[in-house]
Amino acid sequence: MPTLRSLVERLETGDWLLWIGEKSMSNAGERAYPNKITQIKRDEEVIRVKGKGTNGGEYYFELYQDGGSKAFYANPSKAEPDDKGSVAVALLTDSDDPVYVRREYADLRD
């Protein structure tokens, strides 16, 4: 089973990835739409993955050197992004079709 880090290492701009922060799991529903990856920024301390949702929302998550992660929603009505907690779900898929939410990190294209 992949780790979040191994999944992120496979990502390219334009890929479709569903990710959900721990604080949003109770509202996630049975299926959810993936985000289209718009930017992947890697440096020594953190990898930041940005995406655009089907509703036009801006989302991103950060993966830290120690393996920790944090998901965010870039709320346009607030100066600071909404912290959605650690990444609980990350599912890489081949389209913008909704996918079943399950607590794992997986490449569904395999």
Q: pLDDT by residue (tens digit) across 81-101?
A: 999 999 999 999 999 999 999
- pLDDT confidence of residue 2: 86
Q: State the pLDDT at residue 78.
A: 86
**What's the average model confidence in pLDDT over 43-56?**
91
* pLDDT at position 110: 66
Look at the chain and report how many structural domains it folds into: 1
pTM score: 0.92
Sorted by sequence, the CB contacts under 8 Å of residue 59 that are 6+ apart come out as 19, 35, 50, 51, 52, 53, 71, 72, 73, 74
Most confident of 12-21, 67-76, 101-110: 12-21
Residue 106 main-chain phi, psi, to 5 deg? -155, 150
Helix (H, G, I), strand (E, B) or coil at 30: coil
DSSP single-letter state for residue 7? H
Cα atoms in the Cβ-side hemisphere of radius 13 Å centred on 5 = 6
CA distance 57 to 43: 25
pLDDT at 73 over 70: yes
Share of the chain above pLDDT 90, in %: 83
Mean pLDDT of 38-58: 92
C-alpha span between 2 and 82 (Å, rounded):
27
Q: Which residues pair with 19 in a beta bridge?
A: 90
Residue range of the domain that includes 68: 4-107
Q: Residue 42: is its pLDDT beyond 80?
A: yes
The yes-or-no verdict on residue 104 having pLDDT over 90 is yes
